[in-house]
């Protein structure tokens, strides 16, 4: 089953989005700016379960004024969903039920691989890479979502240069001189 493409329509067009890189032990979190143009890694949350997780995400939504979650959807290279995909979908539904904030999904293939490569280039120790990889993966998947759903800018039209006599440069090029 192919993952449904992320639907921007299901999320508000303005306001901070939170990117979620779901994991059974850790959750990477990133946030966008309120104009949804760029994202920043925020933190890696060590899951505790129960009330602690509820409190954490409720406070996250309040503190950052989150208007939507973008949850990474792990899929196979073929596009087929896995057991982890099902878990990520359930987690997204839990977040929405808990906070009342809508969610969308983003294909997260390669996000952890890209995050790992970036951290390797930064020459960080294995311990420091492990501490940062999930929040960086969340930032990569959120930025991908933002870029994929950024409104298309209309092509710029160029006005001809108008001379003092009211003719444009293109007009004077075709008019014979007196």
CATH number at residue 105: 3.30.420.140
Residue 42: half-sphere exposure toward Cβ, Cα within 13 Å: 24
Residue 27's nearest CA partner among 80, 78, 70 is 70
Query: Could you list the residue range(s) of the whole structural domain that residue 44 is in?
Result: 11-148
Residue 94 lies in a domain: yes
Residue 171 lies in a domain: no
Residue 177 lies in a domain: no
Residue 156 lies in a domain: no
The domain total for the chain is 1
Return the pLDDT at 134: 83
Per-residue pLDDT of the chain (178 residues; tens, 9 = 90+): 444 444 455 899 999 999 999 989 999 999 999 999 999 999 999 999 889 999 999 999 999 999 999 999 987 677 777 888 899 999 999 999 999 999 999 987 665 666 555 555 656 566 655 666 688 889 999 999 998 887 665 555 555 565 566 665 555 555 555 5
Residue 67 lies in a domain: yes
Scanning the structure block, which residue is given the tokens 């602690």? Answer: 52
Residue 69: half-sphere exposure toward Cβ, Cα within 13 Å: 28
Residue 3 lies in a domain: no
Tokens standing for 136? 């960086």
Return the pLDDT at 169: 54
């Amino acid at each position: 089953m192919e993952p449904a493409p992320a639907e921007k329509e299901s999320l508000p067009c303005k306001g901070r989005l939170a990117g979620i890189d779901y994991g059974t032990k850790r959750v990477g979190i990133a946030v966008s700016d309120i104009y949804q143009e760029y994202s920043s890694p925020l933190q890696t949350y060590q899951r505790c379960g129960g009330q602690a997780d509820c409190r954490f995400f409720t406070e996250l939504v309040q503190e950052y004024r989150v208007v939507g979650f973008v949850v990474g959807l792990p899929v196979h290279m073929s596009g087929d969903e896995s057991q982890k995909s099902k878990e990520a979908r359930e987690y997204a539904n839990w977040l929405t039920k808990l906070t009342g904030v809508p969610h969308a999904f983003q294909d997260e293939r390669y996000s952890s691989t890209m995050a790992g490569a970036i951290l390797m280039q930064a020459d960080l120790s294995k311990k420091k890479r492990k501490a940062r990889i999930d929040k960086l993966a969340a930032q990569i998947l959120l930025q991908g979502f933002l870029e994929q759903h950024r409104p298309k800018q209309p092509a710029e039209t160029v006005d001809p240069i108008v001379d003092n006599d009211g003719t444009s440069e293109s007009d004077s090029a075709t008019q014979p001189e007196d």
